[in-house]
Structure 1
């Protein structure tokens, strides 16, 4: 057969072809493993393009939705969430010459029309499926997805019983496996498929070059074609992107994404060679030629939909802006208690509740890792885990030292290893669906015990937290941190918190974590700024630093004078139960009456916060004790699929002193970061906020957004059907298909309505416009987010430096405009 002849030219990739493939590979954003599960903008690697262009391209390449269905916006219009003024303003912004009536009529028509995939490209597997009886035959699309997914689960799972030769890469290992898999022919009802696999080249570069040549993919279409192939197996592509991200943090590169392209392209080549249908091949060539027209059609079709999306965002922004303008509470001159919380939207509810206990209680918002660039090593363990945002690489190791004997440490280490090994086996790909059957009565006992005697410690990783009094040794590449290093660390933390004077007698440093059972995505409810862990380690270390006399002495030389009676106390906010746990009270003793009063305030605030959250959880608030009991029960119920709502409905990030927002009820929708620009002489703190916390909040916002607009591609579906893959890699929904990423439906929808409104993040910063603009111009990735409509940036203008905010302006594409 002539198509089996492989000449040298067909097996070579040109520089232009390599660049086109690399561009497609670069478009995939990472997904973090379950034990470090953090929110990510799944379109992060495409933010150099306008979101509207990305949306149209993804719709064309893989039928991905970056917008809500028409009936969603129509509902907002009909219930007066979106008003005429909102849609008119959105239309004017987007320079649309269309009446409001025409916009509404179009929306009504689209909500009734049948969904069409006419403007979506079809891969060869899709075209072949069009010729099959899918009621009685397996689809090629599903079989390819299943085969690649099961292979990847085995390849990337370190605990897998399947072993691959150590010198073979991803593509070669796949080729070795698929050439031996005779079951594909039986399942698909075709013959001689295995012989076609044997004709494939042995290197990914040769395969890609050969496939592009045989399939007739023009050079200008290579990037889109490779991107479409990766989106076809988006879950595993995202995992490979994570491995790439980690390697780059360590100054290395890998070619796994290119090899994944080769695997998916190899399947296309096999189908092409195996199928003798001239009609199919003609349909493929027609399809290739139609791609540009499809993209243009989707761009045009979505233009009015983006107008409705913008109108929904304007509706939210106008309500918030009215509250921010011309109103503020009085500054607290000398607080009796200060409590610093993570900027997490769940903290906003608790902060309001705590401030209600006394007018002189001051709360502070700060990034949840509390400025510590650390990785944490528990006592008695060789395990190390990051305790900082996924954007960053740890530069300090915090080693827990709280055990008195090596024997105790060894016992603890062995217990962790045994639990982890069995845990990895139970979550390996071959064991996923047979684990319960294989363990039989022993697993039945475990299920019964979980039902009758619920435990607080359902995840082995929880056992690694330092629950008792602990000391932490801080080291970097040079060895132990010097006094000067620790002083600089402490000064930087206090400066970033805008807390360098007017210290209260007690300053609480409150990290946060969740408490759930039987939840594969438990880390997603913990602190994203701590790498999907609880913030306990971080706040305990910071408290130790700021309570240490030697560090206070050298801080005073720099002008940061902490009163001798001031104590920093570490604590943890349980976001599921809204309880607060304080640590190390014996280590850093406080006057008994004072701490008693603090505990009273905290308990009252917990009760208020629970009552506020209970309505959304469907819990009656008629009785305080009943409400508390019902919420606490959720923390231990292994059958509970909605223990809490996490960061659902997040919509804004406000960077300003607390007195600008203390009068507001942000309804748990705002990330609140304290910042006083008057104390930030060179605006380094502003720069840090706009390049770290602002990016983290954007990632959170866009993950929730994408998980709602397209849960099939960017969410993890039905939590009840989840099966953990590869130890901690991710989940399958059911027994196969692609790796699922993002958030489950139960994290976003209560069964009747969406609990998250997909809005792009609105960022409000109180600082001079020139300083904000300087940061934007310094960092291209920040500029891209603003100019390409991935988030909104506003300034809170108070030029007089006294009184309330007088003006709010939006920064967009180099200009400030009053809103």
Structure 2
């Protein structure tokens, strides 16, 4: 929050009001830029509240939904995807006293519920429909201003020197005072003069608004929260800037000023109406008193109305959990005794399909699941470039800089040319001029990409040496060995095969502003290429191996780590640097064919019976087709996170719905590795799962709408749907729906951990964010025991799972 003192005046916020506004400003979760796009739980900063409470609040304040429509659950019930037994169990778990008949009846009843209305909403109900709606103009003006402000566009900001720095509120005030067009657009002749009367201080503006509108402390939190949700896209961008500021110890928090800007509009139109339309002002005053007086009652009404639907949602989750648990406890636990090939993949749900396909080629193949950034806290700086790119989860700050020591000029020139072309093509003002200027050259490029698809569109460079720096000092052998030791210790490989593939992943799409969202979230929305190649270089370094040996981590001399990349769009695996033997190449090729055939059922079912060649060609064309809006399904339908030895799940078809992290508690004597998994990968999977869920339940507010209409804002800030409105966050409809049905079933994440009760419980007690996620029903936490017992952990107690020991 802006802590600057207000202007010389007797009016000031009291300490309670300051605390309320600070809390509200912190409610908004960050949204990462397009080139680093990662999935985020949009309610991350509200996790200390039960999800039912957050759902009711969001429903009241912004008419957004965390639940699917009633018809969705009715269809699930008719399909037996929810049973009577599931419903009974759900009512017991949630402590809801409702009979089956009452639950079924609840799907047929739609009682009218009152929502909160901002000042502009109330005015629009009585406004001439031929005039611009107040709400639409407010959002448009603030959004266009923010886009210009954060792009540093001089003309709109009335600055000749765009390097001049001014805070958000003051910039907005300068622009709105000079903007005579607002009065014309709204057909309100004297409106502009009211902006001229606004105070210079954001603090004073908020004080005046609170006093003028009669906002007491009980109502202030809801009022302020509703205003930020009204411009939630840009609020999310400011939350990202705040997150980065906190991460790098460079405080940057303009959320308070955005709130002041949104309040300023309320203050202006309130005063304007009071002076120019007495009857409308009288009606508005009466309606506004009702809004404030009834907010608590409305919240309670929404919570009561939603309660039966939460039972249905829990029943759907129980149905999935019980089916999964039966698979888990009935599967053979097969350990690979003779290993020819090992492959370490990201925990991403898309890796599960490929891992299963690769393992099926031979009983001598062993795969592992590990965080996709491979434990390297790095940022990448390309040769001869000043730009640095984080290659780790957004939760973390990079501490090591990596760059190529030797990059041939041809490769470097190609990268620069590609980057320049892409930068030109993505700039909104240049998009049409680019095609016009490039003419047939660009048309040929589009046709070539579509019909003459290359085997792999992911750029790679081979045989490069890597330089690692920390605090501007190059890492020595001991530093590198320490880094390598930490990674190997976390991987916990018992024995080493002669060949160990380090398999990062990346997507290959064309003409897709959300492309980074299909790459590796653990690598900050980048491919995992840099991470696996740097790690392979470290682990193959003989000096590093000698230093590792002194630390008790001996890597056999005949063991070779090989960097690879899984193209999740086409399921090809690209090998970097090291040649593979023919057998391994055949295994990888066969695994690609198997994974492609399995996924084609969801991608293009009509091709299911076609030849491998035809299916492969279809994948390649899909990846290179500039008009393709559904190149792959990403992490759609994710539902579980399993932390256990791979031998426990090797024989289970998890249908590409489970994040898989290898873990053997017997090797984790102090449970520090388990703590790391529960506080990092488990959080990341919650973020992914929640964003996919909420993008389905309310794509209008928390998704990004129609991908065809996307336009980039500021190059990489985010997207508009069309040419205006709020900044859009979340996933596009085409990433979730195939035109006929949802491809993501919104189930809260089910986490299964193979570890002792006390170890899980102690980590839960130690970390409030884990306790919040578990106890407030943002996810379900289970223990999977050595004897196949499965227990749910909730509010500090263990509960035997229904049907866990059957089968």
Coarse TM-score class (shorter-chain normalised): over 0.9
Aligned-pair CA distance for 1:478: 6.1
Residue aligning to 1:605: 591
TM-score, normalization by structure 2: 0.94
Cα deviation, residue 622, structure 1: 1.4
Structure 2: 5+ residue runs without aligned partners? 1-5, 275-280, 802-807
1:383 aligned onto 2:387: yes
Q: 2:557 aligns with which of 564, 570, 573?
A: 564
Q: 1: CA distance between counterparts of 2:332 and 2:473? A: 48
The equivalent of 1:28 in structure 2 is 28
For the residue of structure 1 that corresponds to 2:92, the secondary structure is: helix
* Partner residue, 1:573: 566
Question: What is residue 240 of structure 2 aligned with on the other side?
Answer: 242
1:814 aligns with 2:800: no
Do the aligned partners of 2:242 and 2:252 also contact (CA within 8 Å) in 1?
Answer: yes
Q: Does 1:132 align with 2:119?
A: no
SS at match of 1:809: strand
Task: Determine the C-alpha separation between the residues in 1 that align with 2:351 and 2:411.
Answer: 35
1:331 maps to which residue? Answer: 335
Separation in structure 2 between the aligned mates of residue 739 and residue 230 of structure 1, nearest angstrom = 13
1:532 and 2:528 correspond: no
Match for residue 495 of structure 1 among 489, 494, 503: 489
With over 3 angstroms needed to count, the CA separation of the structure-2 counterparts of 1:446 and 1:193, relative to structure 1, is farther
Q: CA deviation at 1:53?
A: 0.6
- Report 1:77-156 matches (<5 A): 77-110=77-110, 116=112, 118-134=113-129, 136-156=130-150
For 1:7 and 1:734, how far apart are their aligned partners in 2? 40
Instruction: Decide whether aligned partners of structure 1 residues 287 and 7 sit closer, same or farther in structure 2, where only a CA change above 3 A counts.
Output: farther
Q: 1:679: which partner in 2?
A: 667
Show the counterpart of 2:785.
797
Alignment of 1:153-164 (within 5 A): 153-158=147-152, 162=156, 164=159
Shift of 1:21: 0.8
Change beyond 3 A, Cα 1:795–1:204? same
Other-structure match for 1:14: 14
Partner of 1:482: 476
Matched, 1:442 2:437: yes
Residue by residue, what CA displacement relative to the aligned partner does 1:121-158 show, whole Å, maximum 9, x if unpaired?
Answer: 10000000000133x22211111111100000100114
CA contact (8 A) 1:572 1:582 kept: yes
Contact 1:65 1:710 in 2 (8 A): yes
- Give secondary structure in 2 for the equivalent of 1:615: helix
* Contact 1:380–1:413 (Cα < 8 Å) also in 2: no
Q: What's the offset of the Cα at 1:559?
A: 2.6
Q: Of 592, 605, 621, which residue of structure 1 is paired with 2:608?
A: 621
Matched, 1:355 2:359: yes
CA distance, structure 1, for counterparts of residue 640 and residue 264 of structure 2 = 45
Q: 1:413 to 1:671 in 2, by over 3 A?
A: closer
Q: Quick check: 2:425–2:431 contact (8 Å CA) kept in 1?
A: no
RMSD: 2.1
Deviates more, 1:767-776 or 1:523-532: 767-776
Q: Deviations for 1:697-751, whole angstroms, at most 9, x for unmatched residues? A: 1110001011001111110000001111111011100111000000000000001
Distance in 1, matches of 2:403 and 2:602, equals: 40
Matched ranges for 1:242-281 at <5 A = 242-276=240-274, 277-281=281-285
Name the CA shift for 1:162/1:184 in 2 (closer, same or farther; >3 Å). closer
**What is the deviation of 1:421?**
6.1
Return the match for 2:190 from 182, 189, 192: 192
SS class of match (2:304) = helix
Bigger shift: 602-611 or 281-290? 281-290
What displacement does 1:554 show? 2.2
Q: Distance in 2 between matches of 1:566 and 1:456?
A: 41
User: How far apart are the structure 2 equivalents of 1:373 and 1:156?
Assistant: 28
Counting matched residue pairs gives 781
How has the CA–CA distance of structure 1 residues 737 and 336 changed in structure 2, closer, same or farther, with 3 Å as cutoff? same
Quote the offset at 1:631 in angstroms.
1.1
1:168 Cα deviation from its structure 2 partner: 2.1
CA distance in 2, matches of 1:24, 1:123: 16
- In the alignment, the residues of structure 1 paired with residue 241 and residue 54 of structure 2 have an alpha-carbon distance, to the nearest angstrom, of 24
Q: When the two structures are superposed, what TM-score results if normalisation uses the length of structure 1?
A: 0.92
Partners of 1:707 and 1:107 in 2: CA distance: 22
Q: 1:511 to 1:234 in 2, by over 3 A?
A: same
Q: Give CA deviations for 1:226-272 in whole Å, capped at 9, x if unaligned.
A: 11100000000000000000000011323300000000000000110
Mapped contact 2:425–2:434 kept (Cα < 8 A)? no
Change over 3 Å in CA distance of 1:347–1:31 after alignment to 2: same
State the SS of the aligned residue for 1:275.
helix
Residue 440 and residue 806 in structure 1: after superposition, are their counterparts in 2 closer, same or farther (change >3 A)?
closer
Deviations 1:615-653 (Å, cap 9, x if unpaired)?
Answer: 101241212211111111101000000000000000000
Task: Find the aligned partners of 2:412 and 2:520 in 1 and give their Cα distance.
Answer: 29
Conserved in 2, the CA contact under 8 Å of 1:30 and 1:240?
yes
Distance 2:372 2:15 in 1: 45
Q: Deviations over 1:68-115 (max 9, x none)?
A: 1111111111111001110110011112222111101111233xx7xx
